[in-house]
Chain A
Amino acid sequence: GEDVEQSLFLSVREGDSSVINCTYTDSSSTYLYWYKQEPGAGLQLLTYIFSNMDMKQDQRLTVLLNKKDKHLSLRIADTQTGDSAIYFCAEWNQAGTALIFGKGTTLSVSS
Chain B
Amino acid sequence: GAGVSQSPSNKVTEKGKDVELRCDPISGHTALYWYRQSLGQGLEFLIYFQGNSAPDKSGLPSDRFSAERTGGSVSTLTIQRTQQEDSAVYLCASSLGEVSVGETQYFGPGTRLLVL
Is chain B a partner of chain A in the same complex?
A: yes
Interface residues of A (CB under 8 A from B): 30-31, 33, 35, 41-45, 48, 50, 88, 92-93, 95-104
Inter-chain CA distance A21–B110, complex, in Å, is 26
Q: Which residue of B lies closest to A95 (CB)?
A: B56
A-B contact count (CB 8 A): 58
Inter-chain CA distance A102–B41, complex, in Å, is 10
Q: Which residue of A lies closest to B102 (CB)?
A: A31
Chain B neighbourhood of A101, CB < 8 A:
35, 42-43
Assess whether B105 is in contact with A99, with CB atoms less than 8 Å apart. Answer: yes
Interface residues of B (CB under 8 A from A): 4, 33, 35, 41-43, 45, 48, 55-56, 59, 91, 93, 100-102, 104-110
Across the interface, A31 reaches (CB within 8 A) one of B42, B45, B101, namely: B101
Most chain B beta-carbon neighbours within 10 Å: one of A35, A45, A92, A97: A97
Chain B neighbourhood of A33, CB < 8 A:
104
Chain B neighbourhood of A96, CB < 8 A:
100-101
Assess whether B56 is in contact with A100, with CB atoms less than 8 Å apart. Answer: no
Q: Which A-B residue pairs are the 5 nearest by beta carbons?
A: A98-B45, A97-B56, A103-B42, A96-B100, A101-B43
Most chain A beta-carbon neighbours within 10 Å: one of B91, B93, B107: B107
Assess whether A45 is in contact with B42, with CB atoms less than 8 Å apart. Answer: no
Known: A95-B56, A97-B55, A98-B56. A45 touches B104 (CB 8 A): yes
Known: A31-B102, A92-B101. A43 touches B107 (CB 8 A): yes
Inter-chain CA distance A45–B41, complex, in Å, is 20
B99 to chain A, nearest CB (A): 8
Known: A30-B102, A92-B100. A98 touches B109 (CB 8 A): no
Assess whether A42 is in contact with B109, with CB atoms less than 8 Å apart. Answer: yes
Inter-chain CA distance A31–B103, complex, in Å, is 9
Assess whether A42 is in contact with B33, with CB atoms less than 8 Å apart. Answer: no
Inter-chain CA distance A49–B35, complex, in Å, is 22
Known: A42-B107, A42-B110, A43-B107. A99 touches B101 (CB 8 A): no
Assess whether B48 is in contact with A41, with CB atoms less than 8 Å apart. Answer: no
Chain B neighbourhood of A100, CB < 8 A:
45
A42 to chain B, nearest CB (A): 4
